[in-house]
Structure 1
Amino acid sequence: MEPEDAVDVPKAGPGPSPTRTSPLRYGAGMFGTSLPINLVKGSMLYVYVELLGLDAAIYATVYAVYGVLDALDNPVFGHLSDRTRSRWGRRRPYLVTGALVLAVTTIALFSVPGPVADSAVGLAVWFAVFAITTEMADSLINASYGALLPELFSHEKRRATANAVRQGAQLIALVIALAMTPVLARNVLGTEGSAVGYGRLAIIFGVVSAAVILWTAFGVREDPALNAEAKPLFFRSVRQILSTSQFWTVGLVNACYGAAMALVLGGLQLYVHHTLGGSALDASILQLVVIAVSIGMLSVWAAVVRRKGAAWTWRLALPVAAVGFVPMYFATDLITGILAGLTVAVGYSGVLATNDLVIARVLDADAARHGTHRSGLFLAAFGVLGRLNGLVTAAALASLTVWFGYRSGADPGPDPGQAFRVYLSLYPFALLVIGTTVSRFIRLPVAPQEMTGGEPGGGTQAEPVPGPVS
């Protein structure tokens, strides 16, 4: 228990009964959800602006719309998931539907027909349609997938195990979708200067992603007792969520972190190309090293969580992540880029290991206070703040046009190296400094207490009890 900032938390009524869902099967689903969307985040900017020649200002405009819609559709999908009552469960129908749609739209996004690519208007329209539909499919999946974590695993030890599995699965997906993509798309499945390899890779990722998400969806065992709860009312729920102080504070920190990582994912290939003067292989090597170290550091951060608690560790990881971006500004080649990337990996891994545990505490407290589980809507509301990072990304990219003259690969301006040095270092650093500052003023509920022998399937589940927040 973490003693600081103590206030009372309302006692919950009977919680959800233990379920038999395997943490491994649930956590593996994150591989499927992460594979296509990280191809989008990591390569969409490079493919459309650098390779296909879409004007950066047009890209930024579409991406701003993308960010707004990404924020608005989250509450809708989350609320629908919370209110669904079916023999298939509340979350499974959306996982199945979303998996199939995501596969199709990801493939279409990276498979631009020749006549469309040759038309400035056609390219912009194609990009807008499939970038937005891919985003909506991703939102549909994650509104339900994320809600399952606190509902399936109410004991924090088991929850932490499931979260560690899914974050590990996400990092493996990052190795493939980010680190391996430049080489696979530009040297194995395609050639330098061509988008063909990215289209072929999207087909592979789309099919694999759908298969993994479906495997997870049909292995989830939702608690049937939750179907007996009253269906949450949308406007009442929104009012209650918006009146929760942790929604604004934790949500803002999460948004700062998400925006920083969105800049990194979208701009890293351009940073390697323009700032470090590296090749596709160099981009893959840099990303592979960073992600591999992040995977290794998960166990270290997990040990800190067990000793000091999620909230304390979260507050430590945020400034470590912020400072980690400073060396990226001074890197000049692959070797110094890798050394700088190692500092990013340490903090990034820490936030990964703790962020969802912090959010899950807020969801537990909401369910205890109001007597109904509406994790989908609550997470979606967090998503409204977090997914507005599309606006931050759009503004950051537009600033490169204004300050550095960068418009596209064909018109990079006088100093694209400095442009992406700022984009990948100073902007993420500033965002995480804001998040770190806000985190110091957040008061979080303690984790649910566990009774001896209270593991799912092995005994009685303890109820959350009044206690301090940290």
Structure 2
Amino acid sequence: MDAEHAASGAPASEPPATSARAGTPAHPSTSPMRYGVGMFGTSLPINLVKGSMLYVYVELLGLDAVVYATVYAVYGVLDALDNPVFGHLSDRTRSRWGRRRPYLVTGALVLACTTIALFSVPGPVADSAVGLAVWFAVFAITTEMADSLINASYGALLPELFTHERRRATANAVRQGAQLIALVIALALTPVLARNVLGTEGSTVGYGRLAVIFAVVAATVILWTAFGVREDPALDAEPKPLFFRSIGQILSTSHFWTVGVVNACYGSAMALVLGGLQLYVHHTLGGSALDASILQLVVIVVAIGMLSVWAAVVRRKGAAWTWRLALPVAAVGFVPMYFATDLTTGILAGLAVAVGYSGVLATNDLVIARVLDADAARYGTHRSGLFLAAFGVLGRLNGLVTAAALASLALWFGYRSGADPGPDPGQAFRVYLSLYPFALLVVGTTVSRFIRLPAAPQETGSPDGPDAGPGTDPDPGPTAGSGAEPVTR
């Protein structure tokens, strides 16, 4: 058994991937490792942004929290709107370089430049309230757009490159592992690296230097993955999806609304955690930069370790069953965060978060991939980019949730910035990092109980698959009278 199959427990003897359409010769397959490692590059800069942008701009540079929340609300709306555009362009592209590769390459270069600019605020700009707000708005939004451009294509490749769930699970395990390693660096190590190694406490210099390093590394990794992807040329023969017709069909799909809402709840909860953890450690736990790094490192390392446990549950019970289990576990995991008072109790609470977080990571993309398979089978064309982008419209509206949560701290607790933290910033970020994520995941858990998911690709039509039974659609193909035939794989 090689390392790639060992990551997910898939047998080494699994047959190689074949062409997406019957009757066409198999195309050269993409290594799950080559594809999966790319997520290290996509995750490194954007998690620096999500994990440190609030701290740098509000706590260190003194940007008013209400101004930050306003810009972040615009950020969330634009993030939602540009996703379908980028996804649709990717689906319709036909070029000698493939459909997805041109956007991965372009996005990697743009993301590197905007990330550096976001964390390298010139002195005169930082000294002007208006100038700081404008700089933040411009580069936060352009960084978001570059991230959307990359992920519209990168996410679409998972169901298209790996058409069997076991091989798909291998690729997903590799990429989630790569994402967690990026989280170790971009979240857990960033406070110490930026405030003790590359810079000093209370200064933004270290964050600027770290942004340069992360941007260069991320671009290199994304480009390495992009040039190693082997897209199926048979997909180029499919009709190009029409935007408005596709949007109408996607919006009429029940899974878009149900799975999409669950995904949005999970994404919003984690966005609050990523953005507020350094402030939670500082104000609620009374910790230092080193304490913030230790807490995040422990949580992420445990999450990495738990991936193999959750993968074993997926192999035994199926992705859908495991997904429904992971969501309430993740919700309950946030409760202890409310009662933590120091680093030790914070770490113990963080372990509970890590268990549920890892479970959703191990299953969420597999559930979404089933929805994409069913859509391709029903309508005869792969439009994974647009469908994922449509999910992103719901999921990336977490910017609005983050903005509302931050604004509520100003309203209820008087927290406006590091210079004006209000009478009880500790309680403010206790609520922000515990009660808000818990409430969001409770909503997601409730919705998940009413969803009937398509069967896994190799289980379609088989009543004995691990997910067969209540809560699972045994036939994800076209409905009666639709006139569409499933695509044979």
TM-score by length of 1: 0.93
> In the aligned structure 2, how far is the partner of 1:214 from the partner of 1:312?
36
Matched, 1:151 2:156: no
Deviation, 1:35, is 0.1
> Residue in 2 aligned with 1:142?
151
2:474 is matched with which residue: 458, 467, 470? Answer: 467
CA contact 1:274–1:420 (8 Å) conserved in 2: yes
> In the aligned structure 2, how far is the partner of 1:19 from the partner of 1:265?
38
Q: Secondary structure at the match of 2:63?
A: coil
> In the aligned structure 1, how far is the partner of 2:286 from the partner of 2:399?
27
Matched, 1:441 2:450: yes
Deviation, 1:14, is 3.7
> Residue in 2 aligned with 1:382?
391
Q: Secondary structure at the match of 2:220?
A: helix
1:52 is matched with which residue: 61, 70, 88? Answer: 61
> In the aligned structure 1, how far is the partner of 2:381 from the partner of 2:88?
13
Query: Counterparts of 1:101-120 in structure 2 under 5 Å?
Result: 101-120=110-129
2:34 is matched with which residue: 10, 25, 30? Answer: 25
> In the aligned structure 2, how far is the partner of 1:129 from the partner of 1:235?
29
> In the aligned structure 2, how far is the partner of 1:256 from the partner of 1:362?
18
1:294 is matched with which residue: 303, 307, 323? Answer: 303
> Residue in 2 aligned with 1:74?
83
Q: Deviations over 1:436-467 (max 9, x none)?
A: 0000000110001179xxxxxxxxxxxxxx93
> Residue in 2 aligned with 1:85?
94
> In the aligned structure 1, how far is the partner of 2:22 from the partner of 2:277?
47
Q: Secondary structure at the match of 1:449?
A: helix
Query: Counterparts of 1:202-213 in structure 2 under 5 Å?
Result: 202-213=211-222
> In the aligned structure 2, how far is the partner of 1:13 from the partner of 1:113?
54
Q: Which has the higher contact order (CA 8 A, sep 6+)?
A: 1
Counterpart amino acid of 2:337?
M
Deviation, 1:79, is 0.1
Structure 1's consecutive aligned runs of 4 or more residues displaced over 3 angstroms after TM superposition are 12-19, 466-469
1:364 is matched with which residue: 364, 368, 373? Answer: 373
> Residue in 2 aligned with 1:255?
264
> Residue in 2 aligned with 1:318?
327
TM-score by length of 2: 0.90
2:355 is matched with which residue: 346, 352, 360? Answer: 346
> In the aligned structure 2, how far is the partner of 1:194 from the partner of 1:83?
46
> Residue in 2 aligned with 1:197?
206
Counterpart amino acid of 2:113?
V
> In the aligned structure 2, how far is the partner of 1:327 from the partner of 1:230?
51
Matched, 1:422 2:422: no
CA contact 2:21–2:234 (8 Å) conserved in 1: no
Counterpart amino acid of 1:114?
G
Q: Deviations over 1:249-306 (max 9, x none)?
A: 0000000000000000000000000000000000000000000000000000000000
CA contact 2:255–2:371 (8 Å) conserved in 1: yes
CA contact 1:321–1:432 (8 Å) conserved in 2: yes
Q: Secondary structure at the match of 2:453?
A: coil
CA contact 1:314–1:350 (8 Å) conserved in 2: yes
> In the aligned structure 2, how far is the partner of 1:409 from the partner of 1:388?
26
Q: Secondary structure at the match of 1:194?
A: coil
> Residue in 2 aligned with 1:399?
408
Deviation, 1:19, is 4.1
> In the aligned structure 1, how far is the partner of 2:342 from the partner of 2:116?
33
CA contact 1:13–1:371 (8 Å) conserved in 2: no
Q: Deviations over 1:386-410 (max 9, x none)?
A: 0000000000000000000000000
CA contact 1:13–1:368 (8 Å) conserved in 2: no
CA contact 1:110–1:198 (8 Å) conserved in 2: yes
Deviation, 1:15, is 9.3
CA contact 1:35–1:176 (8 Å) conserved in 2: yes
Unpaired segments of 5 or more residues in structure 1? 1-11, 452-465
Deviation, 1:20, is 1.3
Q: Deviations over 1:214-239 (max 9, x none)?
A: 00000000001111111000000000
> Residue in 2 aligned with 1:183?
192
Relative distance call for 1:170 and 1:286 in structure 2 (3 A) is same
Q: Deviations over 1:21-43 (max 9, x none)?
A: 00000000000000000000000
Counterpart amino acid of 1:218?
F
> In the aligned structure 2, how far is the partner of 1:14 from the partner of 1:117?
59
Relative distance call for 1:238 and 1:19 in structure 2 (3 A) is farther
> Residue in 1 aligned with 2:273?
264
Q: Deviations over 1:303-362 (max 9, x none)?
A: 000000000000000000000000000000000000000000000000000000000000
CA contact 1:60–1:395 (8 Å) conserved in 2: yes
Q: Deviations over 1:44-63 (max 9, x none)?
A: 00000000000000000000
